[in-house]
Each structure stands twice: as structure tokens, then as C-alpha cells.
Structure 1
Amino acid sequence: MTSTTALSGPFQVTVQPSGRSFQVEADETVLAAAIRQGVGLPYGCKDGACGSCKCRKLEGSVTHRAHQSKALNAEEEAAGYVLTCSATAQTDLVLESRQVTDESAFPIRKMPSRVQGLEKVSHDVMIVRMQLPANDVMRYHAGQYVEFILRDGDRRSYSMANAPHTMMRSEAGAPAVPVIELHIRHMPGGKFTDHVFTAMKEKEILRLEGPYGSFFLREDSDKPMILLASGTGFAPIKAVIEHMQSKGITRPATLYWGGRRPADLYLHEWVRQRCAEMPNLRYVPVVSHALPEDNWTGRTGFVHKAVLEDVPDLSGHQVYACGAPVVVDSARSDYTALAQLPPEEFFADAFTTEADKHLG
């Protein structure tokens, strides 16, 4: 280590086993520095709420900004784990993270976007299609997300639900323009989602920034996959399925999609059609709180437990999980502890709300 006494920075961060390194300023988080320099560390919410960026510190010293204990508890911190989204370096650092890749680091850009279409697909889910600038098309991986930058500077994050190859769309003979699809769930009282469901109009202009996130298909593996989604956590999974179909990826994949009521599986028929076209794709819809009038005859219970019932040994699988933090956290814990899933084969994007981010 070369900078063990000075606290002014910048400090050197080396990531093992890849050997990638980058500089971090004294007043910025490790993750922010990695994103700024195109180093693909794993992350999700960027707010100390989801734990997706947690990794082992092999050498050096950090201090953590405010974060949730469920993302990093005191025992984990004492054992040398860090949250890169909340950690600031006090010395040079050596971290262990097996998800560092060059390919994940597409440029992050701010851009204007225009509402092209609004489609209400259930009582609380709106599909919003946003037209992006055509002169410099954003590049992203299926599974990544963008952030809306609101007028007061607040941000709201949503995954792209369409794969990159489907971006260019045209209507009524007009020239093709890049369009991303977002699945937005109404959170009553939510500053942004109340607007989406009550006042948003086509042609409205909003500012976006992206792409963000380390959730995308690892194509260097041939392991069978579990695709686990709850609610609108289906959005990035949909993009991954489109990507698989376009690329001719034939690894076995089983989608488990959970909702409280059948209507929460708002693109149920879309999934069934993909299964008809993709022999490698299976679909297991799971409903936790069906009512008699739903006439639901499929699987019931909690979606992450349905996976354990069907595949009690996940040691040879990869899992891609998206949705509510309680679902993602439970899946991560149970699959590694009970089903022998290697921790490095669990890839997740927890959909933290503003309320989630401010829980203690």
C-alpha cells in the first residue's frame, strides 16, 4: 500500500482477481469513482439500501456514509465487507469483486426524452415509452436501468424493459427513432408515479440519465438459469428474454414471475408467446394472494420459494432476480444457504422505492 497516512487522496483502488485499478478522490464514493472511469463494479440502487455492491476489502481503510443495516450490518463490516456505494477511501484499497468487466461500462449520459406512449396494463402498472435523441443513440445492456432527473433534482430509477436491438421504432411511415420501454408501478402518494398515472401526457419532455446497473446476462456461461421476478421486476427480465431470443441463446431458462393477484402478471400472454417461440424457456407464474373470483388454478405462495420446491439444488445454476427487496434478499439468502447456489452466480436488481431508501 502506498497511501496509508495521507487522507487527501486521490487513492488507488485495485480490484481482484481482475487486477483492474482506478483512482478515487477523497470526497467521492468508491462506486461513483468506478462508474466515472468505466470500471464495471456490481451495484443496484446506489443509495445504501439494496446491498448489491457489497464486496470484500482485502487491504486498506474506508469510512461508510449512511446506509441501511440490511445492506451491510455491523458484523459484515467488522469482517471486512464494504458497500462501495457508501464507502469513501481513507487509504489505497484492494477489493475482491468477481463481477468486474469492461463490457458493462457503456458511457453514462444525460439526455432529454419525450413521452411517446402510455399504456395502462393493470390497475397499478403503466408501460411508458420514452423517445430518446436520435443523433447519438444510447447504448446499454438488456437489464440495465435509467434515472429520471426531476425538476427538484430528485431521481427515480426504472429498468429498460426492451432489449437494445428493439430500440429503433417507427410509426405511420415516420423515420425510426430510439424508444425505451419502462414499466412503472403506481405508488400512491409518490411524487413521480402520481404524476405518471394522473397527469403525464404524450410529448411531455423529461430528463434521463443512464445506463446504470450491473444486471445483465453473463454470456460466458452455459449454466441453466432461473429468472426470478416479482411485480414490475419483470421489466429487466423481459429485456433479457428479448436479448436471448435475438442472439439465439439456447441455455435452459425458467422464469418464475410472482404477483399478489393474477392481474399483477400484466404481460402473462406475452411470456406464453415467447415460450412458444423459445423451446429453452419455461414459465412458472406464481400468485400469493388470489381471491376466489380470480379462478386461479396455478401455483400459489411466495415466488422465491416456488424455485426451491422445483430446484432444491441450485449448485449448477445461475439466478437473475429482480423485484421487491424482500423477495430479492430472501432469494439470495435461501438459495445460497439452502440450495448450494454459489454466491457469485446470483445476480440481482432490487427495486428500492424512496421509502425503502430511507428505512433504518
Structure 2
Amino acid sequence: MGETHRINFEPVDIQMEVGEDEKILDAAFRQGIHLMHGCREGQCSACKSYVLDGEIQMERYSTFACNDAEVAEGYVLLCRAHAYTDCTIELLNFDEDELLGGVPIQDVRTRITAIEPKTRDIVSLRLVAVEPETYEFKPGQYSDISIPGTDEHRSFSMATTQSTPGEIEFLIKKYPGGKFSTLLEAGLAVGDELHVNGPFGSFTIKDGHALPVVCIGGGAGMAPILSILRHMNETGSTRPVRFYYGARTASDLFYVDEILKLGEGLRDFEYVACLSEPLPDVGPPEADRLPASVVPEAGNVTQVVARRESALARCEVYLCGPPPMVEAALFFLDAQGVPKDQVFYDSFTSPAAAAT
């Protein structure tokens, strides 16, 4: 067991203790301090901070998230960082409302109530909380689900809201060779127990804000956006909402009827399906029978948004989906002059996908 050191965060004047054997971000969670974060695996830069004083070493991380020149200058990723002296760290990104007011991390024992395919590679996994009997999180956040019989976990976003505090739905993309994907195919069944830890993530709807909301999603990125739309519907939000969902073909679209139903309770709501391969379509015939009000647009989701949106700088933009989609959208939004504090995102990755 390593020594314990004190961390002082600037400019927020918050202090905490951290053991040498734990990562700084994990220590913050343990003490109820919700620092900005994303992947928690050193792959994004959401938790990037600057060391003003002290000795910090990092575990393995992506140089795309923090390059060698930045490390030499003193930048660190808190999700990979261990402190070996007392330290003073400048937070580069932080939400004052979240810092000491976020939802506490919880360990929840759950039971599977349904495993239901939604498309050829997206599965709905529904759980009920057993101990404790509720699970608190904010719309848009994600959780770690432990892989039974191992010390590994996988991270997935919740699609549900606190209107059903004991029921949780995850929308999971299956990858060939993926450990969790294999379990979904054969290995997990209704009635089995799973351990859930969370919530994590800063991709949450900002209640009290007034700007129009533009959601851009793809693949399993449907889950947090669906949670946000459900929450806005349940709370009577009056903010205009547009939801762009990117897929390959019409057979990759799902939850269309529910999304349109949610939109009936929202102001100026519009759902736009964006198909990168609109013809020819494959899959069950019923996948082609979309509601008459949904006429898919050709092109990837970023191309469609570029054609249809002329005032993104006056909107809050919520992104979630495969890394190439998120990266393309971030580049596009920056070119459009959208302020960075009006853009919120998660980029979904998979160990199986990363290995290919």
C-alpha cells in the first residue's frame, strides 16, 4: 500500500487525498468530487489537466489524448495519473455545478429482465436493480458492467431515466469476437445477475439552459440521447430539439416510433434519419416500413447536419456514437464556430473494435 498525498485543485480551491496506488480521477470519485471525464482509459482528453507543482506519473495512455510535448510541459490525464508527492493541479475543464453536486458512484447488483435484438448488431439489455433497489444517474451518463467470472468490465450508456429508478436499459453494439458480445449471443439469460458500477460521464443534459438542442448520434450512441429525450419529455422541457441519427441503411434504424412519440411532447422537435448507404437496403422487410413522417436523407450524419443547420453556434450540441463520427462532427462544429462549452460528447469504443 503506497503513501497518501494531498491534491489541491485550482482554480476551484478543492482539496482531497489520494493513495499512490489509485488514479487521481478514481480518488476524486471516491470522495464525491466529480471531475470532468470521458472514457477513463486515457483515450480522450476530457480529464486533461496541468500540474502546477508535485510529482505525477501516468499509466499507459494514447498520445492522441496527450502528446509527448504536452506531457513534457506538465499536462496529465487524471484517469491515468498517480501522485507520488503532494500536488497542485490546474483543472482545464470543469463544471462548477457538477464538481461537488454530481451523483455518487454506486455498486449495484442487478438481474437481467430482457435481452432483445433491435437491429443486426444492436441489442437492448434490460436490468432491474436488486441491491440496492434503485440506481441513481443523470440522463446521458454511462456505467461499467462487470463481465462475469473475470475482473474486466465494459462501459455502456443508460437509455432510461429516473422515472423508472429500479429499471435500467442499455443499448449495446455487438462486435465480432467481443467478450460481452459473445455473452449476449450465448452465455447470458433472463434471470442472470450482473454487477453495475457508476454512473460516469459528463455527457448530461444541462437543465435550466435555454438554447435549442441538437442531438447527433449513431450506433449505440442512441442510448444516452434517448435518455436525454425521455428526460426532456418527462420534465416538460420547452427547448427546441432536433435529433440526427446516422445509420448505414433503413434496417439499422430502431426506436423510431418511440422517438416520434417523445417528440410530440417536445417543442419544435424534428427527427432526421441519415443513411450513408440508402440503396440497396438489406434486412427484414419490416425495417423498410418507416412512418410516413420519416423520410431518410442520404449521406453521413455530419453531411446532413451541414446541409440543414445554419445557426449551430446558437445551439447546444450533444454527440454520441462511433469515434469516427464524433471526430468528424467535432471538426465540423469547430469550423462552424460552435463554442466548445456548448458541445457535449461521448465517443464509444470497444476493446474488440480497437483490436481490429
Residue 250 in 1 paired to residue 238 in 2? Answer: yes
Q: Is the 8 A contact 2:32 2:100 kept in 1?
A: no
Deviations 1:299-337 (A, max 9, x none): 22221333233334433222211111122222223312x
The answer to whether the aligner puts 1:318 opposite 2:316 as a matched pair is yes
Letter of the aligned partner of 1:241 in structure 2? L
Name the residue aligned to 1:99: 95
Structure 1 residues 158 and 317, CA gap change in structure 2 (3 angstroms): same
Contact 1:35 1:105 in 2 (8 A): no
Residue equivalent to 1:174 = none
> Which residue matches 2:128?
131
TM-superposition CA deviations, 1:262-282 (whole Å, max 9, x none): 222211222122223323322
Residues 224-233 or 20-29, more deviating: 20-29
Kept after mapping to 1: 8 A contact 2:274/2:301? yes
Q: Is the counterpart of residue 210 in structure 1 residue 198 in structure 2?
A: yes
Structure 2 counterpart of 1:117 = 114
Deviates more, 1:247-256 or 1:276-285: 276-285
User: Separation in 1 of the partners of 2:74 and 2:317?
Assistant: 25
Offset at residue 292 of structure 1 (A): 2.4
d(CA) in 2 for partners of 1:77 and 1:225?
35
Shift of 1:358: 6.4
More moved, 230-239 vs 32-41: 32-41
1:84 aligns with 2:78: yes
- Share of identical aligned residues, percent? 28
Instruction: Deviation per CA, 1:152-207: give whole Å up to 9, x if none.
Output: 1110111110111133xxxxxxxxxx210111111111111111123321101122
1:223-238 correspondence runs (5 A): 223-238=211-226
* Partner residue, 1:299: 297
2:122 and 2:219 in contact (8 A); partners too: no
The one-letter code matched in structure 2 to 1:98 is F
Q: Structure 1 residues 55 and 92 mapped into 2: Cα distance closer, same or farther (>3 Å)?
A: closer
Q: 1:333 to 1:38 in 2, by over 3 A?
A: farther
4+ aligned runs moved over 4 Å, structure 1: 56-61, 294-297, 356-359
Give the alignment's Cα RMSD to 1 decimal: 2.4
Query: Gaps (5+ residues) in structure 2?
Result: 283-287
Q: What is the TM-score with the length of structure 1 in the denominator?
A: 0.86
- In structure 2, the residue matched to 1:153 is 151
User: CA, structure 1 residues 236+63, in 2 after alignment: closer, same or farther (shift >3 Å)?
Assistant: same
Q: Give the counterpart letter for 1:24 in structure 2.
A: V
Segment drifting more, 132-141 vs 31-40: 132-141
- The Cα offsets for residues 116-139 of structure 1, whole Å up to 9 and x where unpaired, read as 112211111111110112654221
Tell me, what secondary structure is at the counterpart of 1:165? Answer: coil
Q: Distance in 1 between matches of 2:17 and 2:354?
A: 27
Cα distance, 1:255 vs structure 2: 1.0
SS in 2 for 1:250: coil
Q: Distance in 1 between matches of 2:70 and 2:328?
A: 17
Q: TM-score, normalised by structure 2?
A: 0.87
How many correspondences in the alignment?
341
Q: Deviations 1:45-97 (Å, cap 9, x if unpaired)?
A: 21112333234555555332211122222344455543211122354123222
Asked if the contact 1:58–1:93 (Cα under 8 Å) also holds between the matched residues in 2, the reply is yes
* Contact 2:232–2:266 (Cα < 8 Å) also in 1: no
Q: Which AA in structure 1 matches 2:76?
A: V
For 2:101 and 2:185, how far apart are their aligned partners in 1? 33
Q: Show the counterpart of 1:23.
A: 17
Does structure 2 retain, via aligned residues, the 8 Å contact 1:252–1:280? yes
- Looking at structure 2, the residues matched to 260 and 8 of structure 1 have their Cα atoms a distance apart, in angstroms, of 52
1:35 counterpart residue number = 29
